[in-house]
Amino acid sequence: MKIITIVGARPQFIKAAPVSKTLRTEHEEIIIHTGQHYDANMSDIFFNELKIPRPDYNLEIGSGSHGMMTGRMLEKLEEIYLKEKPDFVLVYGDTNSTLAGALAASKLLIPVIHIEAGLRSFNKAMPEEQNRILTDHISDLLLVPTEDAIKNLTNEGIKKGIHNVGDVMYDAVLMFKEIAKSKSGLLKELDVNSGEYILTTIHRAENTNDINRLRNMIEALNESGEKIILPLHPRTKKFIEGYGLNFNENIKVIDPIGYLEMLMLEENSKMIVTDSGGVQKEAYFMGKPCITMRDETEWVETVACGWNVVVGTDKNKILDNIRNFKPTSIQQAIFGDGNAAQKILNIINERR
């Protein structure tokens, strides 16, 4: 069969690595990169180091308002779909690329496969939440990573096409964890030792667009006194500079890094402080305590089992948990067995 895969942002490149490799053992895959992430450190490096097949099409959409980005993607994707006539369109996660890919396919009656379906933060002010809900309701195969995701879908009246395959990001971690050790020289370069630093990421729009939220986060990190490594998203850097905010000497700010270097920094950290959905999961896979600087999380399982705490952007809560938070249970296999890609292939084959 011919399957079109839509990617556009860092987390989707990572998820595509194990899935594309498995799909291509039996089917023809065409990759369309929307260009939502276009900086070399946020895009090209992932295709190179994860050996993901180069995109067959790059829409080069770039940044812009949600409406502008989604509209341009719809127009260009429809044109490609009509030309390629795929049997399925496969989308990942919750970005504008995901919604545009699914909506353009649905309008042309092309079956949609949504990997990472069923996640909910229950905050519709987040564009990601709107993208998830809309994509789920027009998808034919809803491939979920957890049991809670199934409950979310059934509560919304979605009953057909749901399969719990586990989390493809766990597949990716297992695929690349050992290879990531080749990047261990980064610790020496950053002048830190394993287990003595906190890894932090900040990129969510609701945090970066609000000077008070961003200031609280940075002040908490500054006042923690901990050694902190912060790979800084270009968009976050722009806002920090625009707001006139500064970091103390305990925070080592570095440029965005590739997936292998990120895995290495995660595995050698003592704790992870983030507002990223994907990094929350990677913290769990690596057995690291996680502090989430958001008001809610779609990965509720990590909170329920005591390995993740959601603190919002309250400076005192962030500081208190950096100093005191410890996991409260033994980890469980809540994200599957690391064989999601093969399960996805099997389910697609059943639809021949």
Model confidence over 230-289: pLDDT tens digits? 999 888 999 999 999 999 999 999 999 989 999 999 999 999 999 999 999 999 999 999
pLDDT at 39 over 80: no
Average pLDDT, the chain: 94
Nearest to 271 by CA among 180, 195, 184, 183: 195
Distance CA 78, CA 107 (A): 9
d(CA 156, CA 9): 27
Write out pLDDT tens, residues 126-181. Answer: 899 999 999 999 999 999 999 999 999 999 999 999 999 999 999 999 999 999 99
Delineate the domains of the chain, giving CATH numbers in brackets. Answer: 2-167+337-350 (3.40.50.2000), 176-324 (3.40.50.2000)
Distance CA(349)–CA(352), nearest Å, equals 5
Task: Give the C-alpha separation, 28 to 66, whole Å.
Answer: 31
* Phi, psi torsion values for 28, nearest 5 degrees: -90, 125
Which residues on neighbouring strands pair with residue 292, listed in sequence order? Answer: 274, 310
Bridge partners, residue 141, by sequence: 113
**Averaged pLDDT, 69-94:** 97
Of residues 3 and 184, more confidence is placed in 3
pLDDT at 260: 94
Task: State the DSSP string of 317-344.
Answer: HHHHHHHH----S----TT-SS-HHHHH
Active site residues: 203
pLDDT digits (tens, 9 = 90+) for 67-77: 999 999 999 99
pLDDT at residue 221 in the model:
98
CB atoms within 10 A of CB 51: 11
Backbone angles phi, psi at 298, to 5 degrees: -80, -15
